[in-house]
Amino acid sequence: MATVKYTKDHEWIRIEGDVAVVGITDYAQTQLGDVVYVELPALGRRVEQGKEAAVVESVKAASEVYAPISGEVLAVNDALSGEPGKVNADPMGDGWFLKLRIADAKQLDGLMDEAAYNAFVEGLH
C-alpha cells in the first residue's frame, strides 16, 4: 500500500516508488468550498518544500498549495483545468494536483501520518 503523509497546510502526499502524488485534503476542500479554478505548475519545474507549487481558487478564496517536499514536477492533473470540481468530489483521488520526482526522501520524515493529521485537524475546532 502507498504511504500517505500530510502537512499542517492541509496538503497530502502519496508515495509511489520514487514519485510523489500531491493534492489537498478533504478538510482543505471543505474549508475552501466549491473549487472554480486550479493553477498548476509547469512540467519540469523544481518546487521547494514549503513553497508554492500550485494555486486553487474557490468561490470563497484563493489559496496556495505548498509542496510537501522538494522535487521536480513530472506530471500535472490537466483534467482539473476543465473540471476543477474534481478537487471537491475526490480530493484524495481524481482531484490530485501534481506528481513530483522526490529530491530528498528524508523530508518525508517531518510530515504527519493520517492519525497525527486527524488529531491536528480536531485541534483546529
For the chain, the structural domain boundaries read 3-118
User: What CATH fold (topology level) applies to the domain 3-118?
Assistant: OB fold (Dihydrolipoamide Acetyltransferase, E2P) (2.40.50)
Please write the tens of the pLDDT for every residue from 57-113. Answer: 999 999 999 999 999 999 999 999 999 999 999 999 999 999 999 999 999 999 999
Cβ atoms 25, 31 nearer than 8 A: no
The stretch 119-124 carries a mean pLDDT of: 96
Count other Cβ atoms within 10 Å, centred on residue 106: 9
User: Is the whole model's pTM more than 0.75, yes or no?
Assistant: yes
Whether the per-residue pLDDT at 2 is higher than 80: the answer is no
The stretch 21-42 carries a mean pLDDT of: 97
Cβ atoms 70, 45 nearer than 8 A: no
Mean pLDDT, the chain, integer? 96
Rounded to the nearest 10 degrees, how much is the dihedral formed by the CA atoms of 25, 70, 43, 23? Answer: 0
